[in-house]
Structure 1
Amino acid sequence: MLPLALLAAPAMAQSAPDGAAIFTRCAACHTATGAGVPGAFPPLQSDFRTLAAKAEGRRYLALAVIKGLSGAITVQGKPYRGFMPAQPLDDASAAAVLNHVGAKIATSGPAFKSFTPAEVAAARAGGAKLSAADVARLHEAAGGQ
């Protein structure tokens, strides 16, 4: 039989995922500052903020993390043709890393509104049949620059 104190103890709250810690895997290509590598990996700056200001852009950003990218995109007027692997993250972790980029890395452009795990889950469900190449093709239509 459990002591009464254990029965009455509140459930341990799970801590929120650490977007900065998750971003360390992104920084391998995009760099710690989000500056990217010219010709290889795009910067995570004003293009990110521009996309995050529109519903279709937010969907694209969530899908880029969840599904990855394959193919040509243009970011800040420069072409990139590469591959970004899908990240094996749950919805809360994907939202956390997107929020870290939007709040701490991409600091120029429109005001940033945080992503929620529910928003990421909706993008995941709606984009379940998309490939990384399909997601890359969404960039320009979503308002990427």
Structure 2
Amino acid sequence: MKRAAVLGAVVALGGAALLATHPLRAAPDGATVFARCAACHTRTGAGVPGAYPPLGADFRALAAKDAGRRYIVLAVTRGLMGPITVEGRPYAGVMPAQGGLDDGAVAAVLNHVGTKIAKTGPAFRPFDSGEVARLRQSGASLGPADVARLHAGAGGK
């Protein structure tokens, strides 16, 4: 009995030490992160014609393809500058990179858009932080204009 109590205490202390060096964090809330996106794309994701594109069928079409998923992650993490066409309308604005978002927060906001905002188009496959990290790294050398040029080739509509 005494040995089991000591073992339990060691496990508990080890767990406390692990938590002290690697604290648990709550998963980011995609809806909360989306508030920064809504400033331009609007709360519903409808966008502003000619200024800020909608986050609807184009988003779902992109999220259904590997190249599109890369484009979406890079649009958030690297920003956009230059012309793109979304749902048949041209946009030539600038979207700044969304600094301060870790991979989990990027995945959370993209999943929020894919499930709550963009409701038309192909079935949505959720992002995870590992995929976001890999895709972010794949475009580390790209600037906002480079990312904008990826849109059409990635399956944007």
In the superposition, the TM-score normalised over structure 1's length comes to 0.93
| 1:102 maps to which of 114, 139, 147 | 114
Q: Which residue of structure 1 lines up, in the alignment, with residue 27 of structure 2? A: 16
Q: Percent identity at matched positions?
A: 63
Gaps in structure 2 of 5+ consecutive residues: 1-8
CA distance in 1 between partners of 2:106 and 2:134 (Å):
12
Kindly indicate which of the two structures has a greater share of residues assigned to helix.
2
Q: Which residue of structure 2 lines up, in the alignment, with residue 128 of structure 1? A: 140
CA distance in 2 between partners of 1:97 and 1:25 (Å):
10
The correspondence of residues 71-90 of structure 1 with structure 2, limited to 5 A, is 71-88=82-99, 89-90=101-102
1:99 CA drift (Å):
0.5
CA distance in 2 between partners of 1:9 and 1:128 (Å):
36
CA distance in 1 between partners of 2:83 and 2:130 (Å):
29
The correspondence of residues 1-145 of structure 1 with structure 2, limited to 5 A, is 4=9, 7=13, 11=19, 13-88=24-99, 89-145=101-157
Cα deviation code 1:54-88 (max 9, x no counterpart): 00000000000000000000000000000000001
CA distance in 1 between partners of 2:147 and 2:84 (Å):
10
1:13 CA drift (Å):
3.1
Gaps in structure 1 of 5+ consecutive residues: none
CA distance in 2 between partners of 1:51 and 1:97 (Å):
15
Moved over 2 A (4+): 8-13
In the superposition, the TM-score normalised over structure 2's length comes to 0.86
The number of residue pairs the alignment matches comes to 142
CA distance in 1 between partners of 2:64 and 2:78 (Å):
21
Letter in 1 for 2:13: L
SS in 1 for 2:92: strand
CA distance in 1 between partners of 2:63 and 2:14 (Å):
43
SS in 2 for 1:137: helix
SS in 1 for 2:43: coil
